[in-house]
Structure 1
Amino acid sequence: MQYDIIAEKTFDHYQSVSLKDKIYLKARYKLCPYFKILDDLIPNSGTIVDWGCGFGFFSLYMKISQFKRQITGVEIDKRKIKVITQVTKEYSDFSIKHIDEVDIEHNTVDVVLLMEVSYYLTCQSYSKLLEFFNKILKENGLLVVLNTYKKKITGNIILQ
């Protein structure tokens, strides 16, 4: 599938959100050009955790792109959790968790995504989070840490 076609199918799920949130989602898609890169990098199947998933647009994009992916979105904002729960209700292997309710078994995750989140964290909480990711990732799991700055993508792709 072409990336923009996948994006349009993903946007279709967000018809019930406010105009403000629709504009935000469209802007994020246009300003954060990593969708094409990551969709090719992430395995076509397996368990993926999107930590700090926001409205879940990229999580849902990944699911629509490859239906064999099992997605867990983790978010702190209850309003965003409500939105993503509504837009993903048709997908039985797509779950959303509040950050305080996360219970993921060790060595069960193929990919962890930390996109546009790390700059919100203190050094100590970031370190603890990376330790947690190390525990939940399978051997040879993939950890992707990504942030955009002034139209440039910076990030680390860490293979275990």
Structure 2
Amino acid sequence: MSAAPVLAQSSPKGLEWCLRRNCSITPRQLLWLYASLCVVSGGLSGFFWWHGAPFVAGFSGLELLAVGVAFVCYARHAADRERLVFDGRVLSVEVELAGRVERLEFDRSSVRVDASAAEAGALVVLQARDRSIAIGRHLRPEHRRVLGREIQSALCGQWLGRGVASAV
């Protein structure tokens, strides 16, 4: 069995967790791919139009529209991320999904980490009074438990770096 990863990084602001989607292509690269697909498809449909098959252009347009919609959906979520910063007093959580950013700040003494659901692969929930937020979307289910324990250890003042994660 391999050791569990340490997800936190030390930064000038304190302890930081930055969780991002694993995207194989950036939105800019996707735009270039779509443009080249349009050029090739347009050239082929123009060739068939010239040779007496005008319906190919219509089907080519529908195909490009469907692929374009799929690419836009992908590109909207390419920059999704979750960023947590703990400065010793306050845990700041910033979640970006499809361009919408949600920011919450939790006082160290009032935040509760519910990592029990993470044992079953669900998201880690941070709660304080009437506010809560679920995090860990971009982690494999088995690493969510590690995230919950790291946050809990940091909040309790027991952050030991690799020592916390290896106890999982």
Q: TM-score range by the shorter chain?
A: under 0.3
> Larger Cα Rg: Structure 1 or Structure 2?
2
TM-score (norm 1): 0.26
TM-score (norm 2): 0.25
